[in-house]
Structure 1
Amino acid sequence: MSVALHHVDEGPRDAPAIVLCGSLGSTVEMWRPQVAPLTERFRVIRVDHRGHGGSPVPPGPYSVADLAGDVLALLDSLGLDRVAYCGLSMGGCVGMHLASEAPERISALTLCCTSSYWPDPAVWVDRIAAVSSGGTGPIAETVVSRWFTPGWAAEHPDVVADAVGQVATTPDDGYAACCAALRDFDHRPRLGAITAPTLVIAGATDPSTPVEPHARTIVDGIPGARLEVLDAAHLATIEQSAQATELIAAHSAG
């Protein structure tokens, strides 16, 4: 059963809509660098996944299909039949599911620093165990250390601190349940069903979803998909915000 997602809806009501869904352990604030430039051209809807931020925390485990169903319910509640979609990491997994299983709802798809599967699910098994025993607080700094390149992180301590806070305040049960969704996710057999124009943005030094094999598998699997590699780690939309935002805007506008 879907839940009513917390979201922030900004920009002109008569502009084309774009939905932004972030990474595991993030909130709508992850997209702060994109808001001002995108709202010049789009109605921008930022979303907290279930189990995150201001959204409900239903009992887990969750599946990516559950997370995608929440987004579809939100679109229905807003009266939006068709939107551009941009998702990073877990948000990208949700986007792949939406684009293959509800193609009539997605006009353009941008997938940032994400994967269609994880070759070794042990990363998620271990993360679930860590959060179940100690909560999200103790893992937050380690998680965020993979989000930005070390040099950039050293120059932007406030951004890093905010990201650590987002992870640390994610409800333990919601975080663990979303880890289970990623553990079980393998969308490779459905990539060929995606018909929306697709842009894949990858970070050149992303330790979580590196270009090979993650971005490459998606680009090779989705007909006509295009790859752009930015000089960034996992949160390329923050570390290279200007470049990423322009790519997202141009692609989403069609």
Structure 2
Amino acid sequence: MPVVRLADGELNYQLEGPAGAPVLVLSNSLGTDLHMWDAQMPAFTEHFRVLRYDTRGHGHSLVSEGFYSIEQNGRDVLALLDALDVAKAHFCGLSMGGLIGQWLAINAGERLDKLVLCNTAAKIASPEVWNPRIDSVLRDGQAAMQALRDASIARWFTAAFAAAEPAKVEPVVAMLAQTSSQGYAANCAAVRDADYREQLGAIRAPTLIVAGSADPVTTVADGRFMAERISGARLLELHAAHLSNVEAGEAFTRPVLDFLSH
């Protein structure tokens, strides 16, 4: 597997698609890895050089000490782009990946072409949600990750989809059970501490916001809040819970491709 060597470890990535095509970066949610985008890859690689990576603390990337920040994760993306000699790219991130996208658009906007923010918010939940989760994961390790895996099904997917499509649900929730408990807790802290509500107006990249009508984590109201504050942003509402790219499938892939291609 290709890796980029950062100062404190290795960032795992995959680069697929035509060599001369525009680069599209895909950023995973908390508790998943780059394979959460597998369903999009056949369509996306027809049009783009697709760069997927495992966020620090996830998949095959480094698990460094201490709590992380979204800025740290954003700087990892910039290091990845620099290492691959990519001056500018489209960016599509879901949930935590969407927070990373917001940080990049606010702080390194010159590196982005178009921005897709999926199932995310300018601020996701509160410390009252995150702190008990961090404590339990640090205390119980991988046993806590297994418990979170079971609980995540109801947050990530509608009950109807989970019942009808276990072959699509199971590989994704399995990613959570396999995520490093230390890396997961460190990224929970990053999400907990991120708040871009007052900075959204600085985003200049053309932006598409994707929200799930049945998402209990980052709601349509969260999407509308971002759309109202990012100049020219479009809001796409899909019938899905939190992982809309998996649940909505083609209904996600087609409009995202259309937005990025025109």
| TM-score range relative to shorter protein | over 0.9
What is the RMSD computed on CA atoms of the aligned residues?
1.2
Q: CA offset at residue 159 of structure 1?
A: 2.0
Deviations 1:45-75 (A, max 9, x none): 1111000001000112000000000000000
| Contact 1:147/1:206 (8 A) holds in 2 | yes
Higher alpha-carbon deviation: 179-188 or 152-161:
152-161
Matches of 2:213 and 2:179, distance apart in 1: 27
Q: Contact 2:214–2:241 (CA<8 Å) still a contact in 1?
A: yes
Task: Output the TM-score relative to the length of structure 2.
Answer: 0.94
- Residue 232 of structure 1 aligns to a residue whose secondary structure is coil
Give the drift of 1:129. 1.4
Any residues of structure 2 matched to 1:64-213 within 5 Å, and which? 64-135=70-141, 136-212=145-221
Spell out, residue by residue over 1:116-174, the C-alpha distance to the aligned partner (whole angstroms, 9 max, x if none): 11352211112101211222122111023211110011011122221221000100110
Q: Does 1:242 align with 2:241?
A: no
CA–CA distance in structure 1, aligned partners of residues 8 and 111 of structure 2: 17
2:234 alignment counterpart: 226
* Cα deviation 1:157-195 (Å, max 9, x = unaligned): 122221221000100110000000011110112111100
Kindly tell me the number of residue pairs found equivalent between the two proteins. 253
Letter in 1 for 2:231: P
- What SS does the aligned partner of 2:232 have? coil
Q: Which amino acid aligns with 2:36?
A: M
Q: Name stretches of at least 5 consecutive residues in structure 1 with no aligned partner.
A: none
Q: Equivalent pairs: percent with the same residue? A: 44
Q: Deviations over 1:186-212 (max 9, x none)?
A: 011211110000000000010110112
Task: Select between 232-241 and 112-121 the one with higher mean Cα deviation.
Answer: 112-121
Task: Please tell me the residue identity of whatever aligns with 1:38.
Answer: F
**Aligned residues of 2:153 and 2:162 also touching (Cα < 8 A):** no
Q: Once the 2 structures are TM-superposed, how far is the Cα of residue 2 of structure 1 from its aligned partner?
A: 6.7
Q: CA-to-partner distance for each residue in 1:204-230, whole Å, 9 max, x for gaps?
A: 010110112x11221111111110100
Deviates more, 1:242-251 or 1:98-107: 242-251
Checking the alignment, whether the CA contact within 8 Å between 1:3 and 1:50 is kept in structure 2 is: no
Q: What letter is aligned with 2:170?
A: A
What is the DSSP-based 3-state SS (H/G/I as helix, E as strand, rest coil) of the residue aligned with 2:83?
Answer: helix
1:31-50 correspondence runs (5 A): 31-50=37-56
User: Aligned AA for 2:65?
Assistant: P
Aligned residue for 1:51?
57
- CA distance in 2: counterparts of 1:73 and 1:2, whole angstroms: 12
Which ranges in structure 2 are unaligned for 5 or more consecutive residues? Answer: 1-6
Q: Take 2:178 and 2:101, find their aligned partners in 1: how far apart are those partners?
A: 24
